[in-house]
Amino acid sequence: MFGYIIVNKPEMKFREFDVYHGYYCGLCRKLKEHYGKFGQITLSYDMVFVLMTLTSLYELETTKSMKRCVTHPLQKHEERVNNITDYVAHMNILLTYYKCKDDWNDDRKLEKLVLEKILYHKSRFSRNFYREKWNKINDILEKLSEEEKKDNQDIDQMSGMFGKVMAEIMLYQDDEWKELLNQFGFFLGKFIYLMDAYEDIEDDLKNHNYNPLKNIYTKPEFEDMIHQILTMMMAECSKAFEQLPLIDDIDILRNVLYSGVWYRYEQVREKREKEKEEKNV
């Protein structure tokens, strides 16, 4: 996946990070149960946030247990698991499968093709049990791929298609929260898509890969434009988020949404500014 929706660890209390890490480890275990070690390597911070948001919304009973694993062989750590953990694990695989497919088409890296084939084989249950969701997301991503091949530079349209994918993933069930979850997921997805394009713009131009920001990259105001666009996406996302009746772990969720999501952005921007300064010396 992408890994842009993360926590700002220095701003968290120790107990809050333990809770977050518990959901992370629980999702990791479910990925291993359903998909083996190949499932584990797909684990995404983005999907941990989805898991915690849906868990807080639906107030499901969460099982807590102390476990050891390969990553933490010497000391037991807490794992948190509920019914939504299984759902998010399947959605994590779905997105990773399509990400590998897209990466193979862009870079022709053999490891991406191999992982794509493995995940497709292992996702048989998910593709059948969540057939409607798989089909919807498949249709959207195929359309997105077609538009990328056409070099579509309509930023709103292109990011909006991935926004629809995340909106579909946020819809755990059809209920009274459907509209707000749709809005929340839609703008979260747009942010992820554009943040990925922002981070990759230089490599994409160098390798002649598609990037929706190509036409504005050379503009002097590029950095300010991107910051404004990303800020607008998160403002709309946060607007829907604050209308959801979330209570459990709300401080952790707000840490991610108002602070953590900007971590990679700041890293990329600072790196580019430093490189520009060095070139001008």
Answer whether residue 279 shows pLDDT above 70.
yes
Could you read off the pLDDT of 168-222 as tens digits, one per residue? 999 999 999 999 999 999 999 999 999 999 999 999 999 898 999 999 999 999 9
Say how far residue 59 (Cα) sits from the centre of its chain.
22
Assess if residue 3 is contained within a domain: no
Q: Is 281 part of any domain?
A: no
Q: Is residue 2 part of a domain?
A: no
Q: Is the pTM of this model over 0.85?
A: yes
Q: Is residue 69 part of a domain?
A: yes
End-to-end CA distance of the chain: 37
- Per-residue pLDDT tens digits for 22-48: 999 999 999 999 998 888 988 999 999
Per-residue pLDDT band for 274 (boundaries 50, 70, 90) equals: confident
Residue range of the domain that includes 167? 9-269
Supply the CATH number for residue 191's domain. Answer: 1.10.600.10
CB under 8 A, 24+ apart: contacts of 134-137: 134/94, 136/168, 137/94, 137/98, 137/165, 137/168, 137/169
- Whether 43 is covered by a domain: the verdict is yes
| In a domain? residue 25 | yes
Who's near 101: CB < 8 A, 6+ residues apart? 112, 116
Q: Are strands 77-81 and 63-67 parallel, antiparallel or unpaired?
A: antiparallel
CB 163 within 8 A of CB 144: no
Using the structure block, give the residue that is written with the tokens 């759902």: 87
Residue at 74 is within a domain: yes
What is the pLDDT, as a whole number, of residue 1? 53
| Total domain count, the chain | 1
- Hey, what long-range contacts does 179-183 have (CB within 8 A, 24 or more apart)? 180/240, 180/243, 180/244, 181/57, 181/240, 181/244, 183/236, 183/237, 183/239, 183/240
Residue 278 forms part of a structural domain? no
142 and 102 Cβ atoms separated by less than 8 Å: no
